[in-house]
Amino acid sequence: MPTTRETIFAALHARLQLLAATVLRDEVLPERIPSAGLIILRDGQPGEPEVTLSPLRYHYQHSAELEVIVQAAKDRATAFDTLVASIGTTLEADRTLGGLCDWVEAEAPASVDLPVEGTVSLKAAVITVLLHYTTAGSLA
């Protein structure tokens, strides 16, 4: 049976699959970026939980990461902005991932342009997604 954490990540991955961009989970950066963009979901860090007793509960503010990458010859900034906005809209549509989280919130990205020798440059950013959830055990 999957842990609470894995269930949440599977739900987040499934939610992001609704976007036009290709969405991967914990994969290496492919050699080619799809025309609609690429999102790589990374598990990130669960952080130190707050613990309550009776009943014992661990309250996490887990920092997941979305690596967002766009490669376009024309209007790269617009394509990137559109993809980032669609991520925001998708997360805002269900801030609890179907009741699995208490709250899901994305932080603003700081984008960079990355030159690639012999081809069109990339525009990329890491978006931190805070997942607030509670488990019955630190490994649950």
- What are the φ/ψ torsions at residue 87 (nearest 5 degrees)? -65, -45
Q: Which helix (H) or strand (E) holds 113?
A: strand 112-114
Inside any domain, residue 23: yes
CA–CA distance, 54 with 128 (Å, rounded to integer): 32
Residue 31: pLDDT above 90? Answer: no
Strand-pairing partners, residue 129, are 64, 106
Average pLDDT, the chain: 95
Domain holding 23: CATH number? 3.30.2000.10
pLDDT per residue as tens digits for the range 63-91: 999 999 999 878 999 999 999 999 999 99
Work out how many domains the chain is built from and give that number: 1
DSSP codes, 6-32: HHHHHHHHHHHTTSSSEEEES-PPPSS
Q: What is the pLDDT of residue 116?
A: 85
DSSP state at residue 107? P
pTM summary value: 0.94
Using 50, 70 and 90 to split pLDDT, how confident is the model at 59?
very high
Q: What is the pLDDT of residue 128?
A: 98
Inside any domain, residue 72: yes
